[in-house]
Amino acid sequence: MKEISELNLPEDVRYAEDHEWVRIEGDKARIGISDYAQDQLGDIVFVELPEVGSKLSKGDEFGTVESVKAVSELYMPVGGEVVSVNNGLEDAPEKVNNAPYTDGWMIEISPDDPSEAGSLLDRAAYLKMLEGQ
């Protein structure tokens, strides 16, 4: 397990308490899981993602990741309609471990309310939450 100081926590995303991240890109938002989350899970062997077109609210389950006989549920950090999913994870789920903020992204959504991401944690607040656990 990484020390908190070793975690890669970019400034250009917002973080949810359940360790998902969201990055606003124009009128779309990308979602994945943080470096902390992938490190906790260990080697990811399977990622289950929603259908394109699914409409999900903040807090809804959008998929699961499976590692070492453990299935973890993933929750929407903001609400919106799924416009694309990262099909590359089907054959290469390890991308979530190796590049959680880039190649390991999970879904892209059209957010219901683009300002909703502003209520999530920034890097400093997320770090503080991790340190307080």
Binding site for another protein (CB under 8 A): 1, 18, 39-42, 46, 48, 64, 66-73, 75, 133
Nearest approach, Cβ of residue 78 and another protein (Å): 17
Of 72 and 84, CB closest to another protein: 72
Nearest approach, Cβ of residue 26 and another protein (Å): 31
Of 54 and 67, CB closest to another protein: 67
Of 24 and 89, CB closest to another protein: 89
Nearest approach, Cβ of residue 95 and another protein (Å): 18
**How many residues are listed for the chain in this entry?**
133
Pairing of strands 80-85, 61-67: unpaired
Of 12 and 90, CB closest to another protein: 90
Residue 107: count other Cβ atoms within 10 Å of its Cβ: 24
Pairing of strands 20-25, 28-33: antiparallel
The whole-angstrom distance between residue 38's C-alpha and the CA centroid of its chain comes to 10
Nearby residues of 99 by Cβ (< 8 Å), 6 or more positions away: none
How is 55-69 classified by DSSP, letter by letter?
EE-TT-EEEEEEETT
Nearest approach, Cβ of residue 25 and another protein (Å): 27
